[in-house]
């Protein structure tokens, strides 16, 4: 199929992009980044914007920059750039590992960081990474710039806290405390497919006891989700199998209405969430310190 007719603009700078949006009805503008998710939607006419605003010429949005305590990544940075970045591999190995699980090299060559955050697919890796690493999202619009915590950014299936007309310009990844262990687990039917379910964990160990655990599961409800009750069962407890089994069982119990489709029933996904959480806890504890 071919897309419905649309106007097209390809600005060179963020300011120009925001100006173009301000000259149009923001609800009728669709931002084009790598096109890996949007192009199929346009072709199937599930998206029918009046104006397609292509950010591919906005080079000021493609960067990976070291901050005092973390890394800033421009929205138009491709997944391939992240995968190849020594800074990301060394300082944010969880982010690096998750990036390598996204689609195929062709997808990672074109697909951008901002595109995956804005798309907010419940089975995508980056929203889970964002919750696990406490990433901050920077958005710019006619009204100025604002920063949104990952916890507040992903609302539901394909829906974020971005307002119509706002451009996601940057994500800011804070430095993990020294000694933090991490794990990123997922199961996909074939290499390169979206995950059926995934789990990611960060935690630290203090005298053999777990501290500051973060447990995030994706692909099982309408968005990547942190499991506070399961985290509470891990915090302060010995890093041993019984602790991790209890927390993983709690994750499964907390999932109210698991997604169900031709690839896997809700009950299968719920159980997969338990299994992957347990594996992630064990691996993260093994990597801590
Ligand atoms: C075969 C295939 C397999 C894939 N497998 C995976 C996978 O395993 N895991 C995974 O996570 N993804 C997967 N994807 C999706 C891929 O990662 C996309 O790159 C990503 O979802 C969107 O990034 P994009 O840059 O292509 O954005 P686009 O497709 O251009 O845009 C996606 C959405 O985000 C909006 N948007 C983009 N940039 C901005 C911005 N800066 N500010 C505001 N809004 C913006 C667009 O308007 C659109 O609504 C797959 C895609 C394909 C085709």
Q: What is the DSSP string of 226-239?
A: E-HHHHHHHTTSBS
How many whole angstroms separate alpha carbon 188 and alpha carbon 272?
11
CA–CA distances in Å: residue 128 to residues 107, 120, 135, 197, 198: 19, 10, 10, 11, 9
Amino acid 27: pLDDT:
96
Q: How does pLDDT run across 72-85, given as a tens digit for each residue?
A: 999 999 999 999 99
User: Is 154 close to ligand 1, i.e. is its CB under 6 Å away?
Assistant: no
CA–CA distances in Å: residue 169 to residues 26, 33, 83, 162, 166: 17, 11, 19, 11, 9
Average the pLDDT over 13-17 and give the result: 98
Amino acid 159: pLDDT:
97
Q: How does pLDDT run across 158-180, given as a tens digit for each residue?
A: 999 999 999 999 999 999 999 99
Q: Closest Cα to atom 9, ligand 1: which residue?
A: 102
User: Is 130 close to ligand 1, i.e. is its CB under 6 Å away?
Assistant: no
Does the pLDDT at position 150 exceed 90?
Answer: yes
Q: Closest Cα to atom 28, ligand 1: which residue?
A: 35
How far does residue 210's CA lie from ligand 1's centre (Å)? 35
Amino acid 170: pLDDT:
98
Place 289 in a pLDDT band, splitting at 50, 70 and 90.
Answer: confident
User: Is 53 close to ligand 1, i.e. is its CB under 6 Å away?
Assistant: no
| Residue 194 CA, closest ligand 1 atom number | 8
Mutate which of 79, 107, 165 for ligand 1? The one with the most ligand atoms within 8 Å of its CB, which is 107
**Contact call for residues 117 and 136 (beta carbons, < 8 A):** no
Place 192 in a pLDDT band, splitting at 50, 70 and 90.
Answer: confident
DSSP bridge partners of 170: 74, 138
| Residue 169 CA, closest ligand 1 atom number | 41
User: Is 116 close to ligand 1, i.e. is its CB under 6 Å away?
Assistant: yes
How far does residue 63's CA lie from ligand 1's centre (Å)? 18
Average pLDDT, whole number, for the chain?
97
Residue of 117, 224, 108 whose CA lies nearest to 96: 108
Amino acid 258: pLDDT:
97
How far does residue 208's CA lie from ligand 1's centre (Å)? 40
Does the pLDDT at position 279 exceed 80?
Answer: yes
User: Is 167 close to ligand 1, i.e. is its CB under 6 Å away?
Assistant: yes
What element of type H or E holds 19?
A: helix 14-22
Q: How does pLDDT run across 227-249, given as a tens digit for each residue?
A: 999 999 999 999 999 999 999 99
Average the pLDDT over 264-277 and give the result: 97
Helix (H, G, I), strand (E, B) or coil at 113: helix
Percent of the chain beyond pLDDT 90? 98
pTM of structure: 0.97
Amino acid 191: pLDDT:
87
User: Is 102 close to ligand 1, i.e. is its CB under 6 Å away?
Assistant: yes
CA–CA distances in Å: residue 27 to residues 51, 210, 261: 10, 46, 31
User: Is 194 close to ligand 1, i.e. is its CB under 6 Å away?
Assistant: yes
How many whole angstroms separate alpha carbon 144 and alpha carbon 279?
43
Average the pLDDT over 95-117 and give the result: 97
Amino acid 1: pLDDT:
77
How far does residue 6's CA lie from ligand 1's centre (Å)? 20
Q: How does pLDDT run across 23-38, given as a tens digit for each residue?
A: 999 999 999 999 999 9
User: Is 225 close to ligand 1, i.e. is its CB under 6 Å away?
Assistant: no
Domains in the chain with CATH codes: 7-54 (3.30.43.10), 59-174 (3.30.465.10), 181-287 (3.30.390.50)
Amino acid 112: pLDDT:
98
């Amino acid at each position: 199929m071919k897309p419905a007719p649309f106007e097209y603009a390809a600005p060179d700078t963020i300011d120009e992009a925001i100006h173009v949006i301000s000259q149009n009805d923001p609800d009728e503008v669709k931002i084009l980044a790598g096109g890996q998710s949007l192009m199929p939607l346009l072709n199937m006419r599930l998206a029918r914007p009046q104006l397609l605003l292509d950010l591919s010429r906005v080079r000021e949005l493609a960067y990976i920059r070291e901050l005092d305590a973390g890394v800033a990544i421009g929205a138009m940075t491709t997944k391939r750039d992240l995968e190849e970045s020594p800074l990301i591999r060394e300082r944010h190995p969880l982010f690096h590992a998750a990036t390598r699980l996204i689609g195929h090299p062709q997808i990672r060559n074109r697909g951008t960081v901002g595109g995956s955050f804005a798309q907010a697919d419940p089975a995508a890796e980056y929203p889970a990474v964002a919750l696990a690493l406490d990433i901050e999202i920077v958005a710019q619009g006619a009204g100025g710039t604002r920063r949104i915590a990952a916890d507040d950014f992903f609302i539901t299936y394909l829906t974020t806290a971005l307002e119509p007309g706002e451009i996601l310009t940057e994500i800011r990844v804070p430095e993990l405390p020294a000694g933090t262990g991490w794990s990123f687990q997922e199961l996909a039917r074939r290499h390169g497919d979206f995950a059926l379910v995934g789990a990611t964990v960060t935690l630290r160990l203090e005298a053999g006891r777990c501290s500051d655990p973060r447990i995030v599961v994706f692909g099982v409800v309408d968005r990547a989700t942190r499991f506070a009750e399961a985290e509470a069962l891990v915090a302060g407890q010995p890093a041993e199998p019984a602790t991790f089994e209890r927390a993983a069982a709690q994750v499964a119990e907390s999932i109210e209405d698991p997604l169900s489709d031709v690839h896997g029933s809700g009950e299968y996904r719920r159980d997969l969430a338990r299994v992957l959480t347990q594996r992630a806890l064990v691996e993260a504890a093994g990597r801590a310190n």
